Amino acid sequence: MGEKFPEIEGGGSLILAWQVRNKKVLVVGGGEVAAGRILNLLNADAKVTLISPRDGLNPEVAHRIEQKQVEYHDRKFLPSDLDDPAIVMVLTAIDEPDDSTVIWKLCKEKRIAANIADVPPECDFYFGSVHRDGPLQIMVSTNGNGPKMANIVRRRIAATLPPNIGEAIAKVGALRRKLRAVAPGNEQGPKRMQWMSKVCVTWSLEDLCDMEERDMDELLQSYAPNQIPTFEQVRLGEQPGSWEFDGSFGWACVI
């Protein structure tokens, strides 16, 4: 047939952005690893329930408890802790391998996704090394082979990114929300996506960072005729039809 398709390369993970906002996640353990897990969950607006004896709590974990950022139970894990049907995820970070395996098996019986720290075979998912800049999140995963290597690779990637890319993406997100209000119908979906892509390719990173709400409103006037003015034309208030796209491209922003 002459067509070439990507070769299958097994052994990877399906990397997803798991939305846990307002969902209940159970964390067992209160050490340094648990502190990192809890921070990731709170950044994702999850409702965190923590089970761990108070003795030996990591200072950061103790702070989360003191600030009532988590629901805390000062004791060891009990099988009945998994009876709550609202729990969507369980994370363990304890030093007792046998106890961790028990929790893993209980989670499998109840079909609850679980991550047993430092035991890759007992994980439904892995935590990668994450770079965060506002709405931008970049995760590097080694599929459980080398967490430290993931951290090194993530730092190298982050060092190559423009310092204001997070702000630019936030502005693009605001523009997308405005566009959906202007053209809300499902039939408008393909056109919305195509038009937003053209904006991201045509406007430079600096343009996107400097874009204000009035610029967004002005730019949206070009949606109906499916045209893309330059940032300067928008600032000058030129009307659609008074300019032509010259084929030049600025910074490429892939959202």
What CATH number is associated with residue 33? 3.40.50.720
Distance CA(142)–CA(150), nearest Å, equals 6
* Spatial CA neighbour of 147 closest among 128, 162, 134: 128
Would 247 be classed as within a structural domain?
no
The helices-and-strands tally (H runs, E runs) of the chain is 9, 7
CA gyration radius, the chain: 24
Question: Could you tell me if 143 and 184 lie in one domain?
Answer: no
Provide the pLDDT for residue 241. Answer: 57
Provide the pLDDT for residue 133. Answer: 93
Range of the domain at 171: 165-236
| Total domains present in the chain | 3
Question: Could you tell me if 192 and 107 lie in one domain?
Answer: no
Would 211 be classed as within a structural domain?
yes
Q: Over the chain (255 residues), what is each successive 10-residue block's mean pLDDT?
A: 84 90 98 95 97 95 98 97 97 95 97 93 90 93 87 95 91 96 94 96 92 95 94 84 48 43
Question: Could you tell me if 139 and 230 lie in one domain?
Answer: no
Catalytic residues: 118
Contacts of residues 233-236 at CB distance under 8 Å and 24 or more positions apart, as own/partner, are none
Would 255 be classed as within a structural domain?
no
Tell me the whole-structure pTM to 2 decimals. 0.77
Question: Could you tell me if 184 and 226 lie in one domain?
Answer: yes
Percentages helix, strand, coil for the chain (3-state, rounded to 5) are 45, 15, 45
What are the tokens at 243?
């300019």
Provide the pLDDT for residue 249. Answer: 41
Question: Could you tell me if 106 and 134 lie in one domain?
Answer: no
Provide the pLDDT for residue 242. Answer: 56
